[in-house]
Amino acid sequence: MRGRAAALAFLLLLLLPMAGGAAPPEAPSLQVSGAVEQGALLRGTAPPGAVALTLDGEPLPLDPERRFLFGLDRDRTGTVLLVARLAGGGTLERRLDVRPRPWRIEHIAMARPAGGPTEAFLRLREGELARIAAARARDTGAKGWLQTFRWPAVGRISGRFGAQRVYRGQPAAFHAGVDIAAGAGATVVAPADAVVVLAGPPAFSLEGNLVVLDHGMGLNSAFLHLATSAVVVGQRVRQGQPIGTVGMSGRATGPHLHWAMRWREARIDPAPLAGPMPR
Ligand SMILES: [Zn+2]
């Protein structure tokens, strides 16, 4: 009797959704959430039956729930093409137009500051950049990419992502992170779950004491100019866990935290991910 009652209840559950009037089954689609604009990070879900996904022809991994992630570089323009391959052999496409963002451009009516880097500095820098690139290339399988990010430090935002100076028509490198004017010694926390892939000292010439966190799926965060770091390479950190303190190591004019994010090679604006700065 028990089994029969359960079977009946199950049947009822199956029939219930139809009771409100038979809605047609929803067509499978590629769901993408987030603003499709320069510097954005977007999350999405592929429909049941999707076995593989590409972004502009490059493979884009799906997690077991068919969720995926991709970033749009600060200078990305045009259209993004997502193509899902379905188990039955068919494909499903979605095109997204990338909205440009009005980056803050500051025109300076003088030539770029003179005095290029020395030969010795360029050699040192080459090694440093190689170390950073090798750390960023590591895929640790961290799951932080699925979380809502929080601010790694609290303070006034003193420098926005994407801002750029142009010296008499010669553009300088744009600001590839967000600056938080937290006081010297303020705690820096992990904005999402991650695995530490780089942790200084020793300090880098420009970045100073640098911590890089891998959030999984090609997404990583870098924290520059730290006074101290509280983590070691390979360590798993939870969202909100202290990873270091604010300082002004490397090339910095005062204590602040520079937080930079990348998805693969795309330079991402961290601010929209973390939402409004808490007071
Ligand atoms: Zn900065």
Window from 8-12, 44-48, 168-172, 196-200 with minimum mean pLDDT: 8-12
- What pLDDT is stored for residue 154 in this prediction? 97
Say whether pTM exceeds 0.75.
yes
What integer is the mean pLDDT of 66-86?
A: 97
Tell me, in angstroms, the distance from the centre of ligand 1 to residue 36's CA. Answer: 24
- What pLDDT is stored for residue 11 in this prediction? 45
Is residue 170 situated within a structural domain?
A: yes
User: What is the band of 279 on the pLDDT scale with cuts at 50, 70, 90?
Assistant: confident
| pLDDT reading at 1 higher than 50 | no
Check whether residue 132 and residue 268 sit in a common domain.
Answer: yes
Is residue 152 situated within a structural domain?
A: yes
- What pLDDT is stored for residue 257 in this prediction? 98
Q: Are β-strands 105-108 and 164-167 bridged in parallel, bridged antiparallel, or unpaired?
A: parallel
Check whether residue 132 and residue 159 sit in a common domain.
Answer: yes
Tell me, in angstroms, the distance from the centre of ligand 1 to residue 153's CA. Answer: 14
For residue range 86-143, what is the model confidence (pLDDT) as tens digits?
A: 998 999 999 999 999 999 998 988 888 777 788 989 999 999 999 999 999 999 999 9
Check whether residue 112 and residue 234 sit in a common domain.
Answer: yes
Q: How many domains does the chain have?
A: 2
Final residue before a domain boundary, out of 97, 114, 146: 97
For ligand 1, a single-atom ion, which residues have Cβ within 5 Å?
159, 177, 179, 258
Final residue before a domain boundary, out of 72, 97, 122: 97
- What pLDDT is stored for residue 24 in this prediction? 62
Is residue 146 situated within a structural domain?
A: yes
Residue 210 has a CB neighbour count (10 Å cut-off) of 28
Residue 194 has a CB neighbour count (10 Å cut-off) of 30
For residue range 233-264, what is the model confidence (pLDDT) as tens digits?
A: 999 999 999 999 999 999 999 999 999 999 99
Is residue 10 situated within a structural domain?
A: no
CA distances from residue 239 to 31, 105, 146, 222 in whole angstroms, order as listed = 26, 34, 12, 15
Query: Which one, of 242, 240, 86, 103, lies nearest residue 159 by Cα?
Result: 103
What integer is the mean pLDDT of 52-69?
A: 97
Tell me, in angstroms, the distance from the centre of ligand 1 to residue 151's CA. Answer: 15
* 189 and 242 Cβ atoms separated by less than 8 Å: yes
For residue range 157-208, what is the model confidence (pLDDT) as tens digits?
A: 999 999 999 998 889 999 999 999 999 999 999 999 999 999 988 999 999 9
Final residue before a domain boundary, out of 97, 118, 134: 97
CATH number of the domain that 209 lies in?
Answer: 2.70.70.10
Check whether residue 256 and residue 145 sit in a common domain.
Answer: yes
Tell me, in angstroms, the distance from the centre of ligand 1 to residue 11's CA. Answer: 60
Check whether residue 78 and residue 152 sit in a common domain.
Answer: no
Tell me, in angstroms, the distance from the centre of ligand 1 to residue 63's CA. Answer: 33
34 vs 201: which has the higher pLDDT: 34
CATH number of the domain that 92 lies in?
Answer: 2.60.40.2470
- What pLDDT is stored for residue 111 in this prediction? 84
DSSP the chain: -HHHHHHHHHHHHHHHHHHT--PPPPPP--EEES--BTT-EEEEEPPTTEEEEEETTEE----TT-EEEEE--TT--SEEEEEEEETTS-EEEEEEEPBP----EEEESSPPP--PPPHHHHHHHHHHHHHHHHHHT------GGGSPP--SS-SEEEE-TT-EEEETTEEPPP--SEEEEPPTT-EEE-SSSEEEEEEPSSPBTTTBEEEEEEEETTEEEEEEEESEE---TT-EE-TT-EEEE-B--SS-SSSBEEEEEEETTEEE-SHHHH-SPP-
Tell me, in angstroms, the distance from the centre of ligand 1 to residue 225's CA. Answer: 9
- What pLDDT is stored for residue 268 in this prediction? 97
Tell me, in angstroms, the distance from the centre of ligand 1 to residue 6's CA. Answer: 61
Check whether residue 212 and residue 151 sit in a common domain.
Answer: yes
Tell me, in angstroms, the distance from the centre of ligand 1 to residue 101's CA. Answer: 19
Range of the domain at 237: 105-274
Tell me, in angstroms, the distance from the centre of ligand 1 to residue 177's CA. Answer: 6
Cis before residue 191, ω within 30 degrees of 0? no
Check whether residue 214 and residue 248 sit in a common domain.
Answer: yes
CA–CA gap between residue 237 and residue 213 (Å, rounded) = 9
What integer is the mean pLDDT of 223-230?
A: 97
Q: Phi/psi at 50 (nearest 5 deg)?
A: -75, 130
Q: The tokens of 241 are what?
A: 């866990």
User: What is the band of 25 on the pLDDT scale with cuts at 50, 70, 90?
Assistant: low
Tell me, in angstroms, the distance from the centre of ligand 1 to residue 9's CA. Answer: 60
